[in-house]
């Protein structure tokens, strides 16, 4: 299949690995920001093909993983209300709050529904005018346009029983938080290609310049990722720190202007607390005053008092690239997808879920 098969080509993979071995002369640590890239790296064993000088660490690019406990608790509170139909992407249903998850609420009789789009929740609101319909608006810049469109259409059609619980986060501020941390070990980034299809690449230039790190916008297939690593290593070895677009077949410099405008019309930038990382300035989106009536937290007067993360879960260290999942004492024992301690074991983009799915058996074999 064109644009898929050629990016899984074994000959191209081995050619890139050979080029990396011929280029690298010293140790480098590179962070892939996106959880989708993490899963591809672990699934295909790409990190195990790399020269020993190159270390890949996993970043905070999993929106489910970084949604803080107090927002999950807000979602659970809403889902328990008899007048509410609570709609969400499937990944969020098993993310643990402080006491339970949304699936437990559903099992107890709450009207919790999995949707594939916020526009599905709009349809439910139109079909049930006697109920309050709340959509869990979670995600990075990739899902923001669809959520903005849902709010825009609700306003335009005069829907009064629809609202969203907002937990939108932005990638560049999280990257800056990683780079400015006292124990940062990241020397280069693979930036998330799908985010850049929406937002473009201009926001990364100040980061590359300020911190002296190359940032390579990268796709999600094996050849994409290895090519992104090669571009990053080539810059590091020659002392350059630039923004490079490896994913040019999908990403334009300016991104998607219409989607960006819709986001800007409906949302405004604000501080946001991240699970495992604390509050990061200007790292989230909230509804603008003109659309505040669609904010579920305001409509239902929900409190958002910070809740401590699980003391045993080290997802915060994993999201900052300071630890890997198998370094957690609870990994694959007290923390599994069936009984997760943290969101990184639940999400389809979570690093712990990737290691459990593709490498837990290897870890068991090595320890036996």
**Shared-domain flag, residues 55 and 71:** no
Give the pLDDT score at 306: 65
Residue 14's CB is within 10 A of a number of other CB atoms, namely 12
Across the chain, what does the average pLDDT equal?
A: 92
Q: Report whether pLDDT(307) > 70.
A: no
Percent of the chain with pLDDT over 70: 95
Predicted pLDDT at 365: 47
Do 263 and 154 have their domain in common? yes
Is 358 within the bounds of a domain?
no
Determine, yes or no, domain membership for 330: no
Same domain, 22 and 166: no
Tell me the residue range of the domain where 205 lies.
Answer: 5-61+179-245
pLDDT > 80? residue 113: yes
Kindly state the average pLDDT of the residues 60-64.
84
pTM above 0.75, yes or no: yes
Number of domains in the chain: 2
Lowest mean per-residue pLDDT among 187-201, 214-228, 342-356: 342-356
Task: Return the pLDDT at 317.
Answer: 87
Q: What is the pLDDT of residue 89?
A: 92
Same domain as 38, residue 9: yes
Q: Domain holding 186: CATH number? A: 3.40.50.11750
Tell me whether residue 183 is in a domain.
Answer: yes
- The verdict on 120 and 166 lying in the same domain is yes
- On whether residue 131 sits in a domain, the answer given is yes
């Amino acid at each position: 299949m064109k644009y898929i098969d050629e990016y899984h080509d074994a000959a191209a993979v081995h050619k890139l690995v050979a080029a990396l071995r011929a280029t690298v002369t010293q140790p480098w640590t590179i962070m892939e920001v996106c959880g989708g890239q993490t899963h591809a790296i672990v699934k295909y064993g790409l990190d195990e093909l790399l020269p020993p000088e190159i270390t890949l660490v996993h970043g905070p690019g999993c929106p489910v993983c970084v949604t803080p406990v107090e927002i999950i608790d807000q979602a659970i509170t809403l889902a328990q209300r008899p007048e509410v139909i609570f709609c969400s992407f499937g990944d969020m249903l098993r993310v643990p709050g402080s006491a339970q998850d949304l699936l437990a609420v559903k099992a107890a009789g709450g009207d919790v529904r999995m949707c594939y789009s916020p526009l599905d929740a709009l349809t439910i609101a139109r079909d049930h005018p006697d109920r309050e319909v709340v959509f869990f608006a979670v995600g990075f810049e990739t899902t923001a346009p669809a959520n903005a469109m849902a709010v825009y259409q609700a306003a335009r059609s005069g829907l009064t029983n629809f609202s969203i619980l907002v937990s939108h986060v932005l990638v560049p501020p999280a990257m800056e938080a990683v780079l400015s941390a006292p124990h940062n070990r990241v020397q280069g980034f693979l930036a998330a290609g799908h985010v850049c299809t929406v937002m473009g690449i201009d926001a990364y230039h100040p980061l590359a310049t300020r911190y002296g790190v190359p940032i390579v916008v990268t796709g999600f297939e094996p050849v994409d990722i290895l090519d992104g690593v090669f571009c990053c290593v080539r810059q590091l070895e020659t002392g350059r720190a630039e923004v490079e677009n490896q994913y040019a077949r999908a990403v334009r410099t300016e991104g998607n202007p219409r989607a960006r405008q819709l986001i800007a019309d409906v949302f405004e930038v604000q501080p946001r607390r991240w699970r495992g990382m604390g509050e990061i300035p200007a790292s989230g989106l909230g509804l603008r005053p003109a659309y505040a009536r669609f904010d579920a937290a305001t409509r239902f007067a929900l409190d958002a008092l910070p809740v401590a993360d699980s003391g045993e879960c080290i997802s915060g260290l994993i999201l900052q690239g300071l630890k890997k999942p198998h370094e957690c004492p609870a990994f694959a024992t007290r923390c599994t997808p069936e009984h997760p301690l943290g969101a990184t074991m639940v999400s389809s983009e979570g690093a712990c879920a990737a290691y459990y799915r593709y490498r837990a058996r290897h870890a068991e074999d090595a320890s036996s």
